[in-house]
Structure formats: C-alpha cells, structure tokens
C-alpha cells in the first residue's frame, strides 16, 4: 500500500485527526526540515505529515528549506506526496473557496536552492519536467473533490512567485498574459525536488483571495484567514477520501 506524505501549507500546520505514532527529527545533508516529520494513522492508513512553514507557522515561503523537507520525507518512507497550497485566484473561475488541481506550473521565484544535483557531481543530471504533476494523484484528488461536492477545477497553471509580499496589479496582469490561473509562493522548487527524488507529487490548491486587481478592494490578511478557516475542513475531507480509497 502506497505510503502518502502530506505537506501542509498555510492553514494546515497540523493535521487534526492524525493518530500520532512517531515524530521524526531527521537529519539531512541539506540541513533541518521545517518541522519534525509526523507519522501516524489518518483515514485508516499510515501517513506522513510535514508542516511546510513549521509549527507554529513561522517560515516564510522564500526561506523554506525545500530540499531538507523533501529529503526527510523520502527518508521517512514517503512514496507519494500530496501538497496543500493556499493560492490567489487569477482566472475568473478561481474565486475564493474554489479548489484547483493544477496540471502545469511556471516558476517566477529566484535565489532558492532548487535542485539536489549541485556541487561536486560525477555527471550532469537533467530530469524531465514536461508534466510537473503526477496524473494518477491528480485524478485521485479530482475524484475526491467531486465526491465531496467541492467547487473545483481539474486543470490550471500555477504561477510560483518569490514572496513573501503579495504581487502588484501589473505583475498579476503579466501572469495572466502568460496563461497562469492561480498564484502562490510555495509550488517551486517543491515540485521539481519531488521529481528528482522520483516521488509522485500533486497539488491541492485552495483559493483564499482574488489576486491583485481581481477585486474592487485591497487584499487583507483577515480575508485570507477567513477563507482558510472555511476551506480547511474541506481540505481534510478531500485528503481523507483520497487516503481511504
């Protein structure tokens, strides 16, 4: 049976309902992960859980040690990864509370440690990243979203920006011209590091605000926090349905 790892983003720093069996403090060649890897039972099966931003939520997107996080999950026995991300909506369909299971990603971040293939290498290594997300996992997520009667899109292009600030109206207009549907700050290099470790990876993105210029007002943290509070029960129900299948 596949051992799933869940990477929890903003709003999901702990997985309520997880019956904990171990908290693993894993040393990696890349430093410490954001938090201990939690092993336990959720929805009737063994799972791993890692809080991307730490617990409590304290590590900003550009300072997450993505390499240590992915390496630690692999060492703990992860065989597939379900990543939960809070995002802004660019496409008109991506309103607050809408879910997206993206099929593509564009990386606008910079300066992040983005590969395991660096330093003193025996040979140069390239990985195919034509299709960043695992199709089987994507189908499992969309089936679960449908079964839970969630508003969702089964395709979308994720724009990963640097953060921690939100984007300007002009930047969002540029991302829209590039074909992006949602915008977040943590989708990369997480997805490609999973690919380098040969870990199937998919993203469950919850829209928590309209992107800059996509609503009449300014974006507030209170608005985002309300959307997170409203959406996390659905996130957990979707994850439980995937794991229980």
53 is in an annotated binding site: yes
Q: Domains of the chain, with CATH numbers?
A: 4-243 (3.40.50.1580)
pLDDT of residue 117: 77
- Looking at the predicted structure, is the pLDDT value of residue 101 above 90? yes
Give the pLDDT confidence score for residue 156 in this predicted structure: 98
Residue with tokens 């069996």: 21
Q: According to the model, what pLDDT value does residue 121 have?
A: 67
**Average pLDDT score over residue span 89-101:** 97
Query: Residue 210, annotated ligand binder?
Result: yes
73 vs 43, more confident = 73
**Residue pLDDT, tens place only, 207-242:** 999 999 998 777 777 888 888 888 989 999 999 999
pLDDT tier, 143 (very low <50, low <70, confident <90, very high otherwise): very high
Tell which wins on pLDDT, 216 or 70.
Answer: 70
Residues 124-152, mean pLDDT to the nearest whole number = 95
Q: What is the pLDDT of residue 111?
A: 95
Q: Is 211 annotated as a binding residue?
A: yes
186 has binding-site annotation: yes
Kindly state the average pLDDT of the residues 45-56.
92
Task: Find out whether 209 is annotated in a ligand binding site.
Answer: yes
pLDDT band at 46 (very low <50, low <70, confident <90, very high): very high
Structure token digits, residue 42: 């959720």
Residue 79 pLDDT: 97
DSSP string for residues in the chain: ---EEEEE-TT-SS-TT-EEEEEE---BTTB--SSPEEEEEETTEEEEEEETTTTTT---GGG--HHHHHHHHHHTT--EEEEEEEEEE-STT--TT-EE--SEEEE---SS---SS-SS-SS------SS-S-HHHHHHHHHHHHHTT--EES--EEEE---SSPPPHHHHHHHHHTT--EEESSSTTHHHHHHHTT--EEEEEEEEEEPTTSSSS---HHHHHHHHHHHHHHHHHHHHHHHH-
Q: Is 10 within any annotated ligand binding site?
A: yes
Q: What is the mean pLDDT of residues 86-103?
A: 96
């Amino acid at each position: 049976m596949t051992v799933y790892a869940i990477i929890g983003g903003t709003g999901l720093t702990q997985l309520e309902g997880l019956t904990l069996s171990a908290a693993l403090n894993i040393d990696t060649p890349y430093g410490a992960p954001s938090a201990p890897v939690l092993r336990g039972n959720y929805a009737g099966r063994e799972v791993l859980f890692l809080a991307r931003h730490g617990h409590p939520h304290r590590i900003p997107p550009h300072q997450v040690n993505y390499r240590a996080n992915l390496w630690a999950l692999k060492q703990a026995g992860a065989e597939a990864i379900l990543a939960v991300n809070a995002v802004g909506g660019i496409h008109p369909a991506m309103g607050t509370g809408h879910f997206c299971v993206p099929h593509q990603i564009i990386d606008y971040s910079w300066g992040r440690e983005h590969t395991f293939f660096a330093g003193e290498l025996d040979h140069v290594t390239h990985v195919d990243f034509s299709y960043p997300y695992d199709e089987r996992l994507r189908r499992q997520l969309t089936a679960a979203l449908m079964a839970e009667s969630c508003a969702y899109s089964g395709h979308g292009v994720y724009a990963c920006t640097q953060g921690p600030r939100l984007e300007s109206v002009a930047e969002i207009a540029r991302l829209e011209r590039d074909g992006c549907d949602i915008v977040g700050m943590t989708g990369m290099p997480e997805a490609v590091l999973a690919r380098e470790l040969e870990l199937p990876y998919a993203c469950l993105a919850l829209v928590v605000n309209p992107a800059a210029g996509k609503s009449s007002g300014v974006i507030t943290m209170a608005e985002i926090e309300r959307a997170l509070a409203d959406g996390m029960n659905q996130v957990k129900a979707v994850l439980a349905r995937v794991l229980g299948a």
